[in-house]
Amino acid sequence: MSDQRTELEKLGEFGLIEHLTKDFVNQNPSTSCGIGDDAAVISISDEDAKLISTDMLIEGVHFNLMYMPLKHLGYKAVAVNVSDICAMNGTAEQITVSIAVSNRFPVEALEELYDGIRTACSIYNVDLIGGDTTSSLSGLSISITVIGSAKKKDIAYRSGAKENDLLVATGDLGAAYMGLQILEREKVVYNANPEIQPDLDGHDYIIERQLKPEARHDIILFLKELGIKPTSMIDISDGLASEIMHICKSSKVGCHVYDEKIPIDAKTSMTAIEFNLDPSTCALNGGEDYELLFTVPQSDFEKVKGNPHMSIIGHMTNEADGIYFIDKSGSSLELQAQGWSHLND
Ligand code: ADP
Ligand code: MG
């Protein structure tokens, strides 16, 4: 280590990962795909592969126990990991769970956490097969590793999008972010005066999207039924803009995404407007929706069109054409991904 000191924020999360891992060379032929996608791909036969991904949640950074019930936290920690397996077009099968916990937590609190983990294991049909338990000086951290499987021919990488492919988002976007805004607002009110009851009325949907997101394994099953293999796929954990840029960078393509096509639930829009925020900005930069973003060839248009779970939001272009957001007035704006420079997830 030299005397030089470089601040983390100079590189940002993705710059830092690239910087730290650039000198590693895979040495095993079974390592089909290492760093750089939603999950690593380990070859186990000519046809089959295992998928592996890890996500860590830290108290005070990713969750606040003032409004996040431990049961929901356990559920969410599993769901966000399963989501990364879905993003490869695979099926999650096992998890390991590691926790670091301070003596602030009684056994009953951890039982709640594991209640949520167990519920998610049952919903997503995954087995808890191990983990690690250690103490922490302050707060709670949870790190989950998920293992999934897929036929090699079915795996969707971030890197397969082609010029003219259609860009498709599942479900609706921006809700988890607006749910967080409501919870944060009520936290401030409560801290100022604990006598005042939180006012969460009418916000159930967006709060649930924040506290109890689902991995879209149902979409993986729909895609199979429809006979669609996405040319590329990613899960929307950091906000639509950031994920579009990941696909474009990995696939070496450009993109046109249309504001009016972005699926936003009416409850999300209404809350955004109440907060003086543009609903599209919340979808683009909000994060934590855990929907899927994928590309398909134009020949799949009929299969995707009219599907209530899927919205065609744009198309891929030549890399040199750049990545553009076309707003409702028809003006093109170069897409900015705010998520990129923030080392916060
Ligand atoms: P996702 O948002 O899908 O969970 P990330 O953005 O966290 O993915 O990570 C991008 C890629 O970088 C993944 O392949 C992940 O495994 C890898 N990665 C992240 N952090 C590290 C690290 N500290 N060391 C090695 N690889 C990492
Ligand atoms: Mg991901």
Q: What is the pLDDT of residue 207?
A: 96
The span from the CA of 131 to the CA of 119, in Å, is 17
Q: What is the pLDDT of residue 344?
A: 46
158-334 folds as Phosphoribosyl-aminoimidazole Synthetase; Chain A, domain 2 (3.90.650)
8-154 folds as 60s Ribosomal Protein L30; Chain: A; (3.30.1330)
Q: What is the pLDDT of residue 1?
A: 62
pLDDT in tens, 217-264: 999 999 999 999 999 999 999 999 999 999 999 999 999 999 999 999
Nearest CA to ligand 1 atom 1: 38
Summary mean pLDDT of the chain: 94
Nearest CA to ligand 1 atom 8: 38
- Report the percentage of the chain scoring pLDDT > 90: 88
Rounded distance from Cα 87 to ligand 2 centre (Å): 7
Give yes or no for residue 118 having a pLDDT over 70.
yes
Give yes or no for residue 32 having a pLDDT over 50.
yes
Helix, strand, coil percent content, the chain, rounded in steps of 5:
40, 25, 35
Across 44-83, b (16+ Cβ under 10 Å) vs e yields: eeeeebbbbbebebebeebbeeebbebbbbbbbbbbbbbb
The ligand placed nearest to the CA atom of residue 87 is 2
Q: Are 84 and 213 in contact (CB under 8 A)?
A: no
Q: What is the pLDDT of residue 43?
A: 98
**Identity of the amino acid at 12:** G
Ligand 1 atom closest to Cα of residue 14: 6
Band of residue 338 on the pLDDT scale cut at 50, 70, 90? low
Q: Are 115 and 71 in contact (CB under 8 A)?
A: yes
Q: What is the pLDDT of residue 196?
A: 78
Domains of the chain, by residue range, sit at 8-154, 158-334
Residue that the structure tokens 């994920």 belong to: 243
Band of residue 190 on the pLDDT scale cut at 50, 70, 90? confident
Q: How far apart are the first and last CA of the chain?
A: 26
pLDDT in tens, 120-145: 999 999 999 999 999 999 899 999 99
Edge-to-edge order in the sheet of strand 323-326: 232-236, 291-296, 166-170, 310-318, 253-258, 323-326, 332-334
Helix/strand/coil (H, E, C) string of 174-228?
CHHHHHHHHHHHHHHHHHHCCCCCCCCCCCHHHHHHHHCCCCCHHHHHHHHHHCC
Band of residue 282 on the pLDDT scale cut at 50, 70, 90? very high
**Identity of the amino acid at 15:** G
Q: Are 217 and 124 in contact (CB under 8 A)?
A: yes
Ligand 1 first shell, C-beta below 6 A: 17, 21, 35-38, 55, 84, 237
Nearest CA to ligand 1 atom 19: 17
- Measured in whole angstroms, the distance separating CA 106 from the mean position of its chain's CA atoms is 30
